[in-house]
Each structure stands twice: as C-alpha cells, then as structure tokens.
Structure 1
Amino acid sequence: MQASILLVEDDPEIGRIVRDTFLRENYHITWATTGLEGWEDFQEMAYDLVLVDLMLPEMDGFTLCKNIRLKSDVPMIIISARKEDEDKIEGLQLGADDYVAKPFSLAELKARVESHLRRWRRYKGAPKAKNESAYMHGLAIDWDQRQVMLEDEKLSLTSLEFKLLEVLAKHPHRVFSKKELYEHVWNQVEADGAHTVTVHIKSLREKLRDPVKAPIFIQTVWGQGYRFIGELL
C-alpha cells in the first residue's frame, strides 16, 4: 500500500469516485460519510493524509479539521463546493494544508495528495526528541506513555481526564469552551455536555492539587471556558 487516506465526504457519487480512484493507485482508503464518523475513524487508526469536505452532517468540516489538528500534524486537504475566500481562509487557519474546490480534476487531486505525502514522509523521517513535558510546581507529563507525575508521585488519571489535560496542555493559553472540549474528548456534539466537562475538570484539578481561586495549571476563563497556564521548565 502506498499510504493510508481518510476520506470524509457525504456526497455518495463524489465519495465513490475519489475512493475508487485512490484504490486503483494502491492506496488504503477509509471513506466516512459524516463528520462524526470521520472523527471516530481518525482516532481508531493512523492515517497519512485526510481529505475532508466542509458541508458534512453531524459534525461540520471546520470542526473536524480543528479536532484533527489538535491531535495530529497529518496533512489535511479540504475538498469543497464552498468557494468563498472566507471559507478557504477559515479552513486553512484551522490547520488544513490545502483547499481544492469542487468540481475538481482527479489528476490534480492525486498530484496534490502525492505532494503532501512526500512532505509528510520527510517530516516523519526526522529524528524525534523524547516526548515529555516538565512544568513548574512539579508537574511532568510523558505523552507517549500517557503518564502524569506530580512531585515525583504518579497520578492515576482516567482516560478522559488525561485527554482533557492533553488538549489543554498541548495548546497552552488557548481558551477552550466546554462545547469544544466535549466534542473533542467525548466525540459527541450534544448540547448538554457542559456539565460533564465541568465534573471532569473538577476531578482533574483535584488530582493535580490545583486550587480554583489561585490556579497554577488550569484556569477558568469565566463565560468562555478553560485554558492551561502551566509554565514549562
């Protein structure tokens, strides 16, 4: 197989044509028909590139791009009938690497995919530093082992608590709304997820021994959400 591609496209005709084209070129390709399905597929296996439409049911393409970029540097190409400059700019600002407007040439799409894959392979082939972060006040996180230490004591975080910490700490000082955290960590788009996020943030803070009124790691931005303020050593 040349590479593994995730295609997120709700138009059955376009999806089938793109899928069959890349299958003939010996790519492994997974085709999702909703944004939520695409997000779930992305978390289940490693992909070398993502093709994503913007107008998707359940979770729109903008939100999907944002969620993927928070988790990975994998190349993303938007394929969309929305040709407005504002849509292109927003998609690129959310982390997409390229934008192809419908209707598009399959030859051009293949060329762009191959170009981004070449860059991705060079990026992955570069030597990697140890994937750990150390902060003031004794917090240390081993991202590969998914292990959190506080003052040399290993913390017992749940999977959801670690995912919350990961999203916040890997994007320091960025404010995340409860809605964004719920969509990213719980993979759902229900409107009533705010209370769930609040409960898990409270539990995470207790384990980090992080006081709400004088936080050193997770700060509440009233009316907006939460951000990570831990200082790297």
Structure 2
Amino acid sequence: MSKETILLVDDENEMVELIEIYLKNEGYELLKASSGLAALELLQRHPIDLIILDVMMPQMDGFQTCKKIREKNTTPIIMLSSKSRDIDKIAGLSIGADDYVTKPFNPLVLMARVKSQLRRYNQFNPIRLPNVNEIQIDGLAINIATHTVTVDGTPVKLTPREFAILKLLAKNHGIVMSMEKIYQEVWNEPFMESKNTVMVHIRKLREKIEEDGQNPKYIKTVWGIGYKLE
C-alpha cells in the first residue's frame, strides 16, 4: 500500500519545517508549495490525499486557493490561520474547507486532525483511480504524458535523453538494467561499446535528482551489471 501524500501550502519557512517533521514522522509523503498558484500546479500533476492550506499568503490567499481547488477537486482541506474569529472560521468552512485550525497550535493536534480527515475521506472514497501517466517513487514523481519530473515537489529540468533513461529505469523499478540494455532502449541503436555515454548521462541525471550524488537515493549502481531505480 502506497503512503498517503499531503500537500502543505504555506510561505512561512519555520511553520513548514515544523509541520514537515511531524508529517514525515507519521509516514506521510509530503509535497510543498509556498503559494496558492504553485499548489494548484502541483494538484494537476500529482495525486494528493489531503491539503494543509495557510490563509495568509501573497498573490492568492488561502480562501481564494480553496475556492479554486473546490471547482474540480474534493480532496480534504485543513486551513491554518492566525485569524481566530468565528466569522473567519465560518468563511473558511463555507467555501469548502473541511477543517480550520488556528495558530498557534499543538502539532500533535494537527496530526490528529489530518488522520481524522483522511479516515473520513477514505471511508467514503474507497476506490482511488491511479494516475496512469505518473510514476511516483518516494519523493520522485515522473509524469510520462507531460515529460515533467519533480523531486519533493520541486520541478527538475531534464534533457530528452535523461528523461528517457529515468523513465526506463522507473518502468523497471527495482530491476537491474545493464548499460547495454539502457543504450539500446534509449538510443535505439546497437551498443557498440557505449558504456561511457550511458555513464555520463547517469552522472548528469544524478546531479539533478539526487541530493547526494556520492550516496544516491534513487539511482543505484549494481557494480559489473548496470543500474536500477529504488
């Protein structure tokens, strides 16, 4: 069973870091956006199970973002705000938020609200259709249709060859692919001692998607054989 994915929308770094610690401790996958526009873009590209949405943001505030999301999406939304007046809570709930948490709050209380909303949503939406165009491996998301890649919600620009290699490894997730096989599939021509070509592209790919190229999280080297995506 895949982990549930939470989209956290907040432009306050300290708040994001605090909530991120608690969400990851609970085993959730996390995508982050610092604006309403960025959140809407992520929703188009990723399957999201729940949204934590701050009210006070530049350009498009939480209320506007919530209304926009509700035009096409029923994903649970928990709003965060320093506005504690009843009229503000009513406004948030009336435009489609499922819960409203006022700042400051106990992070454990927020986690309890997250679990409650997910439990309720999953109870009434037991069948979740997968996005057949997207391959998600931990924080790495590959959209086959749009040829886009994100790592922990951050877009990564790949060349067509790099994308083709990543897609090949992702479609064969956990299977070791030899350099010969990679070359033949991606370049569509005989191997002819092209190990260096594959190695250079793998190195560049790692530089873009790995936090630590010397200790890669996703693309693993199987010495003497090839590479695999974990």
Aligned mates of 2:110, 2:99 — CA distance in 1 = 10
**Which residue in the other structure is 2:80 paired with?**
79
Alpha-carbon distance in 2 for matches of 1:104, 1:93:
22
Deviation (angstroms), 1:62: 0.5
Give the match for residue 59 of structure 1: 60
Unpaired segments of 5 or more residues in structure 2?
Answer: 130-230
SS at match of 1:99: strand
Shift of 1:66: 0.5
Question: SS at 2:125's partner residue?
Answer: helix
Q: Structure 1 CA distance, aligned partners of 2:108 and 2:3?
A: 17
How big is each residue's C-alpha offset from its partner over 1:75-111, in whole Å with a ceiling of 9 and x where there is no partner?
A: 1000111112221111101000000000011110000
Identity of aligned residues (%): 41
In structure 1, stretches of 5+ residues that fail to align are 129-233
CA distance in 1, matches of 2:104, 2:60: 23
Q: Counterpart of 2:27 in 1: which secondary structure?
A: coil
* Post-superposition offset of 1:2: 3.4
Secondary structure at 1:78's aligned position in 2?
strand
Map of 1:8 onto structure 2: 9
> What is the CA-CA distance between 1:39 and the residue it aligns to?
1.4
Equivalent pair of 1:19/1:31 in contact (CA under 8 Å)? no
Measure, in 2, the Cα distance between the counterparts of 1:82 and 1:13: 18
CA root-mean-square deviation:
1.7
Pairwise mapping of residues 191-206 of structure 1 onto structure 2 (< 5 A)? none
Query: Which residue in 1 is equivalent to 2:122?
Result: 121
Q: Structure 2 length normalisation: TM-score?
A: 0.53
Aligned to 2:31: 30
Rg bigger for which structure?
2
C-alpha displacement of 1:117: 0.4
Please give the alpha-carbon distance, in whole angstroms, between the structure 2 residues aligned to 1:70 and 1:87.
Answer: 21
Question: How many residue pairs are counted as aligned between the two chains?
Answer: 128
